[in-house]
Amino acid sequence: MSSLNAKQESAIGVFDSGMGGLTVLSALTQVLPQEKFVYLGDTARLPYGTKSKTTVERYALQAAGLLVQRGVKALVVACNTASGMALPSLQAAFANLPIFGVVEPGAQAAAQVADDSGILVLATETTIRGGAYQQALAGLLKGSRVPIYGRSCPLWVTLAEQGRQSWTLTEAVLKDSLRGFLSRGPKTILLGCTHFPVFAENLNTILPSGVNVVDSAQTTAKAVKAALTARDLLNRADGGSKEYGGPTEYFATDGADRFIQVGSTFLGAAIPQVQLIDI
């Protein structure tokens, strides 16, 4: 086996502060069924979305370092907060590794469907404060008159990690975050946090009809596929006909049992085993 083949057969690393990145992993496994994945949720240090840039950068470098040690051929930063705060540092630290964030693909998904009523970005406090989405959207929509709004949703990550979609309190929290935008609001809502797609059904009942809710999962998966194809890094272990790259390995820095129980609602599939790891 040549060393190049060994690289093509290596896993793709995916990380998030917790289980939110599983919504991106779900799209990745659909778009790249022949690939193997290693997922890390830094659950011991979640949330990232209330922390400073310096801290998020440090956490992201450590999480990425762990996956790099495991020999991944590419890295997906399945966390908007880490993508917005730490992508340049990650790309500088691991210069030979293809590294993908979720902010640019998320912005593309929203820009594709947006109209003049505008785009509302819902994300963590750190993502909204950092302005990564506002910048990415402004770049993509240059010359148009689409207004861009941002709102931080501080409690959503906690509710999502606890699997509280059907709680009465959850509906109240979601409605509170959307206050002022429910009537005559922007017709495109961008879920700028990978935890938020688990509230898709809740949002469906709260939002007026005609509002598009988009996230970065599908566009990220397509961007990863295109880039790995261009670099000849796709797994072709059996000539490309293999449909399943092998079982995903799951790592978490805390709460393996909760990860197994709640994680399946993020992934849309069972998670048989999670290994605890220290970073």
Catalytic residue, chosen from 14, 67, 79, 123, is 79
Please name the residues in contact with 274: beta carbons below 8 A apart, sequence gap of 6 or more.
Answer: 250, 251, 252, 256, 259, 260, 263
- Is 79 labeled as catalytic in the residue annotation? yes
Ranges within 123-142 binding ligand DGL (CB under 6 A): 124, 127
Ranges within 5-24 binding ligand DGL (CB under 6 A): 16-18, 20
CA angle 15, 17, 21 (to 5 degrees): 50
Q: Which is nearer to ligand DGL, 47 or 98 (CB)?
A: 47
CA dihedral 135, 189, 103, 52 (to 10 degrees): 80
Tell whether residue 48 is a contact of ligand DGL (CB under 6 A). yes
Q: Which is nearer to ligand DGL, 33 or 154 (CB)?
A: 154
Q: Which residues sit opposite 217 in a β-bridge? A: none
Catalytic residue, chosen from 110, 123, 173, 193, is 193
Tell whether residue 98 is a contact of ligand DGL (CB under 6 A). no
Ranges within 159-178 binding ligand DGL (CB under 6 A): none
Ranges within 185-214 binding ligand DGL (CB under 6 A): 193-195
- Is 153 labeled as catalytic in the residue annotation? no
Q: Minimal distance in Å, beta carbon 148 to ligand DGL?
A: 18
Q: Return d(Cα 27, Cα 220) in angstroms, integer.
A: 8
For residue 261, report the phi and psi dihedrals to the nearest 5 degrees.
-70, -55
Q: Return d(Cα 75, Cα 11) in angstroms, integer.
A: 9
Please name the residues in contact with 58: beta carbons below 8 A apart, sequence gap of 6 or more.
Answer: none
Does an H or E element contain 103, and which?
helix 103-113
| Token pair recorded at residue 60 | 């992201």
| Residue at shortest CB range from ligand DGL | 49
Q: Which is nearer to ligand DGL, 198 or 233 (CB)?
A: 198
Q: Minimal distance in Å, beta carbon 20 to ligand DGL?
A: 3
Q: Which residue ranges make up the site for ligand DGL (CB under 6 A)?
A: 16-18, 20, 46-49, 79-81, 124, 127, 157, 193-195
